[in-house]
Structure 1
């Protein structure tokens, strides 16, 4: 593995939290990469491994088996922040782990947040 990493190093660029990849695209890092794409007054957040199931939108404190440290409170705080951002107007979320509804947004369902598909 070290050999492959060394071979790719001259062609790779590391990014830090909040780094702009190109105009309108920023990366956020909290144990995983999350991309925020903005344009035309709207925003798409591709949040990947921050959440593995839509039920974690409803219950951001719930960890998945893939969380490297389920007790890590910063990761839970991050999920709470992400859910709040996904509830903001003009914001769409994308997560490949959500097999049947990969594009959606958060709506308040009573007192709790809920993942809802984007209307076509």
Structure 2
């Protein structure tokens, strides 16, 4: 992700920011977003990021709400996208390199676009 896109995310998702209390300092907004992106980008298991689970939940909820507002704004009010599913395949020998994923097997990434309801 580019720095510009990261800055856009930080500007649009300000509602997941927290305030310091008398007991402790909060995790800054930029760091909260970076933690969530790391957890999502590296397919970290929830037990791996267990102590940071609320950050990930807050981030996902804020992105979902932002996407709904954005879809309404550009004319697709009830449309959501989903990415993150690998479908195992057996590629031809000429295409084998293109389909080898980071988990060590051949797959194709599924991208689906669905109705909100």
Normalising by structure 2, we get a TM-score of 0.29
Greater helix fraction, Structure 1 or Structure 2? 2
Normalising by structure 1, we get a TM-score of 0.29
Greater strand fraction, Structure 1 or Structure 2? 1
